[in-house]
Structures are given as structure tokens and as C-alpha cells.
Amino acid sequence: MNIVIFGPPGAGKGTQSNLIVKKFNLHQLSTGELLRKEIKDNTFLGQKISSIISKGNLVSDDIVGNLIEHHISNKIYKNRLIFDGYPRNLIQAEYLNSLLKKYDQKINVVLKLNVSLETIKKRILERKTLEKRSDDSEKIAIKRYETYENNIKPVINFYKQSNLLKVINGETTIAEINHEISGIIDRMKG
Ligand code: AP5
Ligand code: MG
């Protein structure tokens, strides 16, 4: 089973993916985390993308496309992927479909976490004290939210048309959201 989870910054994509991978033996593919690792390791790619991420903009479709192909093509992860934070625009959504087709796979369900800007600001400022993410100031959190809003509508329509979209209230507790997502996956497994 391959799952896409998306939503604005601080929606709980990473939190929920973490719980789901353990429960269902899946593999989390967070493009944000992969990109932050490149920056931390100070690779050529990391140097190139560092300022883009700090400003709350999207990294190029080619760069993230290469990162995800690396995982999709790996047989160990075949039909076990949860895409956290990919796709973020229509080009990426179409590219993901074509890549999965190339490796004889598909998306089984798309989870959209809905959270208000007020909640996002609160969560991100709380996280800022724990993790030192370069993009976790209030100003950049708002910018990331705007970037999300400006790109995501065609993605939502894309997955609505293919009947894969499940909308989830991301404002409740971590446990409640996990329970809802687990139920969706359990029902799909039959
Ligand atoms: P990315 O790392 O994906 O960041 P994001 O989308 O801004 O989302 P976050 O990771 O901040 O939030 P989350 O939804 O994972 O929430 P979390 O579970 O941590 O991307 C970073 C950057 O990389 C992008 O801005 C872009 O530059 C680049 N990038 C990434 N993917 C890309 C792509 N496909 N194309 C181009 N560029 C790309 O939760 C947040 C906090 O809230 C945590 O502290 C958590 O404990 C808490 N929390 C979670 N759920 C709850 C709850 N229900 N109740 C209370 N607290 C909660
Ligand atoms: Mg995350």
C-alpha cells in the first residue's frame, strides 16, 4: 500500500506518518526531512537549497523528483511508501503518478490534513523551542502556509477526480487523528 499525506506546515504530516509506519510496517518518505539532511551534511545539493528552504519557498520539482525516484525504485520499499509532503503542486502530482507507473505501483489513498493558520502558528512556535529548524519563525511559517495555499488546489482536484482523497480534521488530538487514519487503512486492507 502506498499513501500520500499532505497538509499545510505543522498539520501533523510527520507526526502521523511516524505512527503509521510503525503500525503498518511502511516506510516514510518526507521530502522535507531528506532536504534538511542534505543541508546538515553540507552537500552540494544542501548548499544550493538552504536559502530556499529558510525563506519558505518550494525547492525545484526536478530536485525533489530525483529524491523520490531514488526511493520508489528501491525494491525494499515497493508498495510500502508513505509520501509526507510530496506532491505539493500539480506537476509533482502528475510526476508521482508516472513514476509509480514506471515501477509498477500506484497510490492507494491520499490523506489531507486540515488545520487552521492559528493552530499552525501555535504548533510551529512550540516546535521551534525543541527543534532548531531554520524555517520555524512565525514569519516563515506564514510564508510556508501561503506557498501551500498557492499551489495545492490543483493537487486536491487531481486526487478528488481519481477518488483517492480523504479529508481529515487535523485540529483534534494526535491520538484521535491516528485512530481515524488507522481506520481508513484497516478498511482498505479489508
Ligand atoms: P516539510 O519538512 O515538509 O515542512 P512543512 O510542510 O512545512 O511541514 P512541517 O514538517 O513543518 O509540519 P508537519 O505537517 O510535518 O507537522 P508535524 O507533524 O511536524 O518541508 C520543509 C520545506 O522543504 C518546504 O517549505 C520546502 O521548502 C521544502 N520541500 C519539502 N517538500 C517539498 C516538495 N515536495 N517540493 C518542493 N519543496 C519541498 O507537527 C508540527 C508540530 O505540531 C510538532 O511539534 C508536533 O508535535 C505538533 N503536533 C502535531 N499534530 C498535533 C496535534 N494533533 N495536536 C497538537 N500538536 C500536534
Ligand atoms: Mg514534517
- Provide the pLDDT for residue 189: 85
- How far apart are the CA of 32 and the centre of ligand 2, in A? 6
Choose among 86, 87, 143, 152: nearest CA to 120: 143
Judge if the beta carbon of residue 58 lies within 6 A of ligand 1. Answer: yes
Q: Cα–Cα distance between 58 and 144 in angstroms, integer?
A: 9
Render pLDDT for 77-104 as a digit per residue (tens, 0 to 9). 999 999 999 999 999 999 999 999 999 9
Query: Would you list the DSSP string of 46-65?
Result: HHHHHHHHHTTPPPPHHHHH
Claim: this prediction has a pTM higher than 0.95: yes
- Provide the pLDDT for residue 22: 97
pLDDT at 146 over 90: yes
Choose among 120, 131, 129: nearest CA to 36: 131
Task: With cut-offs at 50, 70 and 90, classify the pLDDT of residue 65.
Answer: very high
pLDDT at 190 over 90: no
Give the residue, out of 20, 64, 92, 123, with the most ligand 1 atoms within 8 A of its beta carbon, to mutate for a pocket test: 123
Render pLDDT for 2-24 as a digit per residue (tens, 0 to 9). 999 999 999 999 999 999 999 99
Average pLDDT over residues 146-160: 98
Q: Cα–Cα distance between 35 and 74 in angstroms, integer?
A: 19
The rounded mean pLDDT for the chain is 97
